[in-house]
Amino acid sequence: AQSVTQPDIHITVSEGASLELRCNYSYGATPYLFWYVQSPGQGLQLLLKYFSGDTLVQGIKGFEAEFKRSQSSFNLRKPSVHWSDAAEYFCAVGGTGANNLFFGTGTRLTVIP
Amino acid sequence: AAGVIQSPRHLIKEKRETATLKCYPIPRHDTVYWYQQGPGQDPQFLISFYEKMQSDKGSIPDRFSAQQFSDYHSELNMSSLELGDSALYFCASSWTSGGGRDEQFFGPGTRLTVL
């Protein structure tokens, strides 16, 4: 069965500090992996995606994520967090064709000055 | 660039009323997905359509129905509304026929409040 686990419900970091949000997935086929960000009351914005190839993918706003098949993980990282990064972050997994996405429960990021 | 359009953006209904949410996918996209996000929850897949045919079904209540029209827009019809239906409803679209690498583009959502 498909599932996504985001172990950290809430993370607080200081502005300028580095960030890593964890994501583990379970998927029966070759997974397509995504990270989305959602500000309060807003829609979902795609940060980055992994389909194949280089396991380190770069996204928007300075984010990157690394796909590790052996660990079934797709952790999101940013070297220096900005106050505007405070939001909810969702990891999602999907497959080929018209397949729906399975989302993790999200990690809420708080950034303190 | 054109994005996914959802209307209305906000909707307030009473219990037992009906509601219709509309989604206009990005031009040339052939697949539409509906997700429901309850307060403090992750988005849950409801239903999807590919080339106007239902392609997958998730946790959509029997009180809900949806369809995709010839112009590829989709409507989610919700009847006998319950308080628990209050949520943010997202529509997403993708270009499945483009070769399998179908990234889903999300609309801004419709916030439904049931009183």
Please state, as a whole number, how many other Cβ atoms lie within 10 Å of the Cβ of residue B82: 12
Q: What is the pLDDT of residues A30-45, one digit of tens each?
A: 788 999 999 887 889 9
Instruction: Round to whole Å and give the CA distance between A87 and A39.
Output: 5
Local structure of B1: helix, strand or coil: coil
Give the pLDDT score at B56.
Answer: 87
What is the model's pLDDT at position B104? 87
pLDDT band at B34 (very low <50, low <70, confident <90, very high): very high
Amino acid residing at A17: A
From B79's Cα to the closest Cα of chain A, the distance in A is: 24
Rounded to the nearest integer, the mean pLDDT of chain A is 91
Q: Is B4 exposed, middle or buried (0-12, 13-18, 19+ CB in 10 A)?
A: buried
Could you give the residue ranges of the DSSP H alpha helices within B10-102?
none
Q: Where are the alpha helices (DSSP H) in B3-89?
A: none
| CB nearest to A43's CB, from B44, B102, B109 | B109
Token reading at B102: 């179908």
Report which DSSP code applies to A15.
Answer: T
The mean pLDDT value for A92-109 works out to 83
Burial class of residue A65 in the structure, from the number of CB atoms within 10 Å of its CB (0-12 exposed, 13-18 middle, 19+ buried):
buried
Higher pLDDT, B17 or B101: B17
pLDDT recorded at residue A98 = 55
Give the C-alpha separation, A41 to B88, whole Å: 8
Residue from B30, B90, B102 to probe the interface with A (highest A Cβ count within 10 Å): B102
Within an 8 Å CB–CB cutoff, is residue A3 touching chain B?
Answer: no
Q: Which of A44, A57, A108 would you mutate first to test chain B, the one with the most B CBs within 10 A?
A: A44
pLDDT at A28: 76
User: Which of A8, A83, A94 shows the shortest CA–CA distance to A39?
Assistant: A83
Mean pLDDT across chain B: 92
